[in-house]
Amino acid sequence: MRVVTVDVRHPDPAVIAEAALLIRAGELVAFPTETVYGLGANALDPDAVGRIFETKGRPAWNPVIVHVADTAQARVLAANWPTSAARLAERCWPGPLTLVVPRSSIIPNVVAAGGDTVGLRMPAHRVALALIEAAGCPIAAPSANRFTQVSPTTAGHVLTSLGNSPGLVLDGGPCTVGIESTVVDCTEDAVSILRPGMIGINALTDALEGMDIVVRNARPQHLSGCTRGGGTGEEIPAPRSPGMTRRHYAPHADVWLFYPTDQERIATALVAYMSGQSSRRPVVGLLRSVDFGDLPMTVVRMPDDPAQYAQELYAALHEADARGASIVFIEMPPAGAEWDGIRDRLTRASHEDML
């Protein structure tokens, strides 16, 4: 495994050419995008895409996103190009938005997990775009981590999760968006948000202005899921997006999600937990407004701004794992659509027996 640093503003053409050659040869290359690092392969080569699944330990029912360098390339991969997709691509690409559209026959089955659609995204990242252009093919890339682990937002996270598996990791520094792209289904009259992200329902609605197209959340934001025994998977309808299993973005530590109003209950539970714990593994708190005083907790202060919060979230979770944390306490961010993507990831990072 080689890790090569690339300048995000001016990616070295020689480095990009080398990475593109590996992609052309059916090998895997991990590369930065604005959301998270991707584990890339030639999207038109089923064997190469199969290697992504092997490396991640990813189940075959979970389709991968295909990255393109422009809309023209996307259209070739779609059986048809819905008007919603056309407008969203025009307004939101390049950017952290994946459009699910009917797939053309050149998309291998393995990419689509046997389904009749494909998720397409043009990333807003010079290294990613340069790589796709140089490879001359669309690049299938899920997040560059083992299945169910937290997505990587640095090259270091990729190495921790995947070890020596990808032949080459392009290191473009920390990702700026920090959580995975918003995934929307454009195959029906209304646009459904299958996976919330930092392009939220309001931005999508604005982008579709004047088109008489409704945007809706395909899944409820399980805000009620913060009492013990509550918030389990039951109330969540069968996922339309196959990757939407609950335990999807989990760190090794237990994640306890709580509302600021639950502070006292959490403090009591923490003291009880600490007194019953023989090992000395640390407890980490990702906190915004709450202060637990002198309780033995390593506190990471999280930002009030959702964009900043998203950018820092996965690094904080990776750091908690690196410290060997037994529990990560996370203060639930406020209600509001701008936090939808973050609440979604936090809910899925937490165990079902939340406090």
Q: Site residues (CB under 5 A) for Mg ion? A: 143
| DSSP result, 178-241 | -SPPEEEE-SSSSEEEEE--SS-HHHHHHHTTTS---EEESS---TT--STT-S-GGGSPPPSS
For the window 150-189, what string marks contact with ligand TXA as x by the rule CB under 6 A?
A: ------------------------------xx-x------
Q: How far is the CB of 139 from ligand TXA (least distance, A)?
A: 9
| Whole-number Å distance between alpha carbons of 78 and 76 | 6
Q: Which residue has the tokens 């999280």?
A: 302
Q: Is 117 in the site for ligand TXA (CB under 6 A)?
A: yes
Q: Is 42 in the site for ligand TXA (CB under 6 A)?
A: no
Q: Is 241 in the site for ligand TXA (CB under 6 A)?
A: yes
Applying CB under 6 A, the site for ligand TXA has a residue count of 29
Cα dihedral: 338, 35, 232, 332 (round 10):
-40
| Whole-number Å distance between alpha carbons of 287 and 310 | 14
The entry of Mg ion, ligand TXA, none near residue 267 (CB within 5 to 8 angstroms by kind) is: none
Among 11, 108, 119, 231, binds ligand TXA (CB under 6 A): 119
Q: Is 311 in the site for ligand TXA (CB under 6 A)?
A: no
Question: For ligand TXA, which residue has the nearest CB?
Answer: 243
- Between 99 and 328, whose beta carbon lies closer to ligand TXA? 99
Among 129, 191, 194, 327, binds ligand TXA (CB under 6 A): 194
Structure-block tokens of residue 277: 């714990």
Q: Is 73 in the site for ligand TXA (CB under 6 A)?
A: no
| CA 109 to chain CA mean position, Å | 22
Contact criterion met (CB below 8 Å) for 75 and 164:
no
Tally Cβ neighbours within 10 Å of residue 293: 6
Q: How far is the CB of 111 from ligand TXA (least distance, A)?
A: 8
- Between 15 and 310, whose beta carbon lies closer to ligand TXA? 310
Q: How far is the CB of 333 from Mg ion (least distance, A)?
A: 21
Structure-block tokens of residue 130: 């340069």
User: Residues with Cβ < 8 Å from 214, sequence gap 6 or more?
Assistant: 189, 190, 191
Would you tell me which residues interact with ligand TXA (CB under 6 A)?
Answer: 33, 35-36, 38, 62-65, 96, 98, 100, 112, 115, 117-119, 121, 141-143, 180-181, 183, 194-195, 241-244
